[in-house]
Amino acid sequence: MEGPGADAASAVAPIAKWRSDFSRMFQYYLDRSTPHPLQRWIGTLAAALIYLLRVYCVQGFYIVTYGLGIYILNLLIGFLSPKIDPEFEALDGASLPTKGSDEFRPFIRRLPEFKFWYAITKAFCVAFLMTFFSIFDVPVFWPILLCYWIVLFVLTMKRQMMHMIKYRYIPFSFGKQKYTGKRSAASTSGSPRD
């Protein structure tokens, strides 16, 4: 004999299956996009432009845009920072190599590029959805928010650059370094060989 919970369980089962299937399909396409960073960032740029066009057309939701800007700035700091902060690592005795004779340690980001991209894309999508609800359209004087965000951006980037200079790390690499080998003295003097 079936109890009153049997109907609820049978109604939830298709929803759970649909959610599981959707999650699996979404993860499949997310995994397929991993080796294509240029196309991913172009898609994010398109989402950002659509969001900005929406904000411009409705002439509102500036507080949502400000919150989005603060969130993106926070993500950018994570993207530019090393996974293990040398400032705290120095207290333990270990630090980044500072001389040519020190052991090479590659730069590992606190927030990898894929997670950085994914978080920014989700943020633009959520902010776009928020523009359809008038509760988020708080009336503010947007030039003040823009000036405050610019000041915050400049000060944060200055602090990050000083940290990068102090601990001698560069968060970007432009391809694989090529070893050319040692040049002989004859080839560097410029004299032709017979």
Residue matched to tokens 């978080």? 119
> Which pTM was predicted?
0.74
Query: d(Cα 178, Cα 180) in Å, to the nearest integer?
Result: 6
Element (H, E) at 53: helix 37-58
Query: d(Cα 85, Cα 103) in Å, to the nearest integer?
Result: 17
Using CA atoms, how far residue 88 sits from 34, 80, 81, in Å, is 32, 17, 13
Provide the 3-class DSSP secondary structure of residue 82: strand
Element (H, E) at 28: helix 5-33
Contact between residue 97 and residue 104 where contact means Cβ atoms under 8 Å apart? yes
Query: d(Cα 120, Cα 76) in Å, to the nearest integer?
Result: 10
pLDDT tens-digit profile, the chain (194 residues): 455 555 666 667 888 889 999 999 999 999 999 999 999 999 999 999 999 999 999 999 999 999 999 999 999 999 988 887 777 765 555 555 555 555 666 777 888 999 999 999 999 999 999 999 999 999 999 999 999 999 999 999 999 989 888 877 777 766 666 666 666 655 555 555 54
Provide the pLDDT for residue 148: 95
